[in-house]
Amino acid sequence: MAQQSSTWPVIHNYALSYALSHYSYGIYLGSVPKYFEDLEKMPLYATPAINSGASRMKITMNVINDRTLKTELEAKKNTPSLGKKVVIQPEFSSNNSSGFLFYCYTWDDYNLPGTFRIGKKGCAVRVNWQEIKSPKVYFLKEPVSPSHPLNPIDLNGQLLSYEPIMIPPHMIFRKSKIQHDYFVFAGNEKILFPKRLLERVNYELNN
């Protein structure tokens, strides 16, 4: 009987990487996802996305017991069990400028799509890209707060503080502060250079 749930305007970077690279299975054997094996075969890697302009609202509702399929509590007759759900408010304006912001690393001359589908229901998405010209990676000893949500698996340095969001398949840090790690700078934007890509670069340099 889940009495509380909350939805954040955040998209996991694994979901984005699968969708942007059009990577999927026609037939899959087993029930355990192979994220690391799949990501190695993709021509890109995205950061988690966030919609900072999204608004949320709270809905109060009756909660159904999974075992009895009733809304009443067993100990107290005619007493409903109330639950709360926090959801993202829908947007109806066609000229709304808010959207999800994320960064994407590509290689092998891969052309990122202007439209794609994401999620179990295949929601259609339009994306506007802006290329970072001549990006450079810097190693910084001092604390830095990335300009985007962070997948903790991408962390290579020392984590000083973080604000977690629980989202499958594992948590995302909505805000974080890191030191002794690699970053790409684009104006005022501070983009973490993921550990996965750092290992890829080191492998290519040594082979």
**Residue-range domain boundaries for the chain:** 4-205
What is the predicted pLDDT for the residue at 69? 54
Q: Taking the chain (207 residues) in consecutive chunks of 10 residues, what is each chunk's mean pLDDT? A: 76 95 86 91 95 85 65 59 81 69 94 92 90 90 95 95 92 95 92 93 84
Which residues does residue 62 pair with via DSSP β-bridges, in sequence order?
82
**From residue 177, how far is each of 4, 148, 151, 160 by CA, in Å?**
29, 11, 13, 5
pLDDT at position 138, please?
93
- By CB atoms closer than 10 A (0-12, 13-18, 19+), residue 16 is buried
CA 172 and chain centroid, separation? 7
Structure confidence at residue 204 (pLDDT): 82
Predicted local distance difference test score (pLDDT) of residue 74: 59
Q: How far apart are CA 102 and CA 116, in angstroms?
A: 15
Phi (first) and psi of residue 202, to 5 degrees: -60, -35
pLDDT for the residue 201: 87
Measured from the Cβ of residue 103, the count of other Cβ atoms closer than 10 Å reads 20
Global pTM reads 0.83
Task: Tell me if 70 sits within 8 A of 18, measured CB to CB.
Answer: no
